[in-house]
Amino acid sequence: QALAEAAAEGAGTAARLVAADDVTPEALIAAGGYLFVGPENLAALSGAMKEMFDRCYYPCLGNLEGRPYATIVCAGSDGENAQRQLDRIAKGWRLKRVADHVIVNTSAQTPEAILAAKSIAPDRLAEAGDLGAALAEGLAAGIF
């Protein structure tokens, strides 16, 4: 959540921060671009994010081609599988990646650490903010 909020703050008023449970196909179709931010759980996308894609995939198919996207995954270890899942979904929608993916590793490996609230380093929050700003600026300037 902290990474998503930092990215939205970086993007400014152009951004709309929406929890996965609240995303609708109509909102995705109305958006000019996307910054998907979420946790990796059990080496996969979080259940809420996966459910959002399951719910919205077919209603959006054929309506999003060429739109820009970027991703931030927060993981307890490597985050690569969740990132691959996001990229495969984006490929199906024919989205265009416009920034390198960001994976924030919290090193949470024990049950206690996994269940605990995470503290994201200030430099990683700044990186999320910069990515949000870059995506918003690219959209506003018509670069993407």
Q: Where are the domains of the chain?
A: 2-136
Query: What pLDDT does residue 115 have?
Result: 87
Please provide the size of the chain in residues: 144
Would you call 43 exposed, middle or buried from its count of C-beta atoms within 10 A (0-12, 13-18, 19+)? middle
The pLDDT-based confidence of 140 (bands split at 50, 70, 90) is very high
Neighbours of 21 (CB within 10 A): 10
Q: Which CATH number fits domain 2-136: 3.40.50.360, 3.10.20.30, 3.40.1160.10, 2.60.120.380?
A: 3.40.50.360
| Cα distances (angstroms) measured from residue 104 to each of 27, 82, 125 | 27, 12, 10
- Tell me: the pLDDT tens digits for 8-43? 999 999 899 999 999 999 999 999 999 999 999 988
What's the predicted TM-score (pTM) here? 0.94
